[in-house]
Chains A and B, each alone.
Chain A
Amino acid sequence: MSVTPPANPALLDVSEVSKSFGSVEVLRSVSLQVTRGEVVTVIGPSGSGKTTLLRCVNFLESYDSGSIRIDGKEVGFRETGTRQRRSERDLAKMRAETGMVFQSFNLFPHLTAAGNIMLGLRKVRGKSNTEARAIAEHWLGRVGLAHKADSLPAELSGGQQQRVGIARAVAMEPKILLLDEITSALDPELVGEVLEVVRSLAEDGMTMLMVTHEMAFARDASSRIVFMADGGVSAVGPPAEMLAAEFDNERLRSFLARFRASHF
C-alpha cells in the first residue's frame, strides 16, 4: 500500500528573504527550496551571504522581509500577517526542529562528549537521563567516537570535536541539518573523517543544507548546488552541470577559477 506524497513537499522554503546590516544588504531576495532527503550545498565567495542565510533558517539571525518556512511553518515570525517576532519559547521550539553544526564546533566545554549530546535530549526533548545516555552513545558510535563518550571537548582533536558537534545535532532528530563550513577550522588531515560522517548521514536520507568550500565533496554529495554572489542566488543546478567549466554563468566560472587557483 502506498501513500502518494503531497504535490510540493518542500521541507524548507525560503522565499524572497532580504536582510541588511545597517546599509549593507547581505541577503537580496533569496529564494530556495529544499525537499525532504535532499542535500543542497551553498557555495560562493566570502561575504556573499551564505552563512547569514543558514543562520536565518534557524533564526539565529532575523531577516527584514520575505519568509522562511519549515514544513509549512514560518520559522521566526508569528503567522498573523503582522510580522511579529515569535516568543522566545516558540523560537526555541522551532529551533529544536533544525540541527546546526558550526564552523568552530561550539561544544559546551564543561560537558563531556556524551553530555553535550544529552543536554538537548534531556532539557528540550524531555528524555530521562538513561534514555538520553543511550541515544548519545548510539550517535557517538555512529561518528566513530564510542570510546570518547566521557572525554571533555578539550581532550578531543578538532575532527573529533566536530564529529561530536554533528552527533549533538542529529541526536535531536531534526527535520533538516544545517552545516556551516564545518571543515573550515580543521587541519587538512582531519577533514576527511568529518566529511565521511556527513556522507553517511546523506545516505540515510537526512535532509541537509550546507555551506562548504570543499568542492569535491559538494560535487559528490549534493543533489543540488546553489551559487550565491553579493547576497543573491546567482545560479542553482545539479553539481555536475554547475561545476563544469562551460556552465553559463560568468561569475560562477570566475569564482571556480579563482578557487582552483588558490587550492591547487
Chain B
Amino acid sequence: MGYTLNFNLIWRHFDKLWGGLLLSLELAVISIAIGIVIGLLLAVWYVSAGRVVRSIIAAYVEFIRNVPLILLVYLVFYGLPTVVDIAYSAQTSFIATLSLYSGAYLVEVFRSGLEAVPRGQIDAGKAIGLTPWQRLLHVRLPTMLRITLPALSNTFLSLFKDTSVASVISVPELTYGAQWINFNTFRIVEVYLVVTAMYLFTGYALLYALRLVERRFRAAH
C-alpha cells in the first residue's frame, strides 16, 4: 500500500496555517508581557516580604509548576466560569492561563536574578545615599535583567511552543489550523510535516533574534 504525498491541499488551505502562526506568536507575546509584569512584581515582593507572603507566592509557583498546562487551560476555560460568574472567549481565557503560567516561571527566574545581584553593588548604592526604592530601580533591576535575559529568551521560546495547547479549546492558532486541515482533507502526514517545519523555522528565527538582542545588550552594558 503506497501513500503518495500530496501537498496541494495543504497549500490551498495555507491561510489557516499562516493565520494560525501569527495568532500563536500573538498569544506568546501577550502572555509573556503579562507574565513579565506578574513575575517582576511577585519577585520584588517576595525578596522584601515576610514569611506569610513568601509562602503564598511559593504556593502559586509550585501549583503552576506541578500541574500540566493542558489541565490549567481546562480549569480556567471550563472550570472557572462554572464556579464564578464570568464569561470570556477561549482566546482570552488562554492568554490569562498562559500569562499566569509564564508568570510563575518568571517569578523564579527574577527572584534568583535579584538574589544574584552582587552585594557590593547594593552597598555602593547605599553608600551614595540611594533609598531602598531607588536602589531597586537603578541598581538591582538593571543588573537583574542583564543576568536573567537568557532565561527570559528561553521562557519565551517554550511559551511559543506551549501556545499549541490552545488548540484543545479551539483557539485557531497554528496547531488548531493543522487539525482543521487534517479533518477536512485527511492529508495527515503532509499537514503535520508542514506545521512542524513552521514551528521549527519560527523557533529558530526567534532564537536567533533573541540571541542578537542579548549580545547587543551585553555589549552595551
Contact = CB atoms under 8 A, between A and B. Distances in A.
A104 interface: yes
Contacts of A45: none
Contacts of B121: 106, 108-109
Interface residues of B, number: 21
A100 B130 CA distance: 13
B132 A106 contact: no
Contacts of A123: 130, 134, 138
B143 A120 contact: no
Interface string A76-95: 00000000000011011101
B124 A106 contact: yes
B216 interface: no
A243 B124 CA distance: 32
A110 B129 contact: no
B59 to A, nearest CB: 29
Interface of A: 58, 60, 88-89, 91-93, 95-100, 102, 104-110, 119-120, 123-124, 152, 168-169, 172
A88 B128 contact: no
Give the residue among B123, B124, B220 with the most A Cβ atoms within 10 A. Answer: B124
B114 to A, nearest CB: 15
A95 B221 contact: no
11 contacts: A89-B131, A96-B128, A96-B129, A98-B127, A100-B124, A106-B120, A106-B123, A108-B138, A119-B128, A124-B134, A172-B129
Contacts of B138: 108, 119, 123
A169 B128 contact: yes
Given A106-B120, A108-B121, A110-B142, A99 B127 contact: yes
Contacts of B125: 108
Given A92-B134, A123-B138, 10 more contacts: A92-B126, A92-B129, A95-B128, A95-B129, A98-B127, A100-B124, A106-B123, A109-B121, A124-B129, A169-B127
Main secondary structure of the interface of B (DSSP, over half): helix
Contacts of A88: 131-132
A124 B128 CA distance: 8
Nearest to A125: B129
A60 B123 contact: yes
Contacts of B65: none
Contacts of B143: 108-110
A60 B122 CA distance: 10
A100 to B, nearest CB: 4
Contacts of A107: 124
Nearest to A105: B120
Given A102-B120, A106-B123, A108-B124, A120 B130 contact: yes
Interface string B97-124: 0000000000000000000001011011
A35 B126 CA distance: 24
A211 to B, nearest CB: 15
Nearest to B124: A106
A58 to B, nearest CB: 6
B146 interface: yes
Given A109-B221, A119-B138, A152-B221, A172 B132 contact: no
A91 B130 CA distance: 9
B128 A168 contact: yes
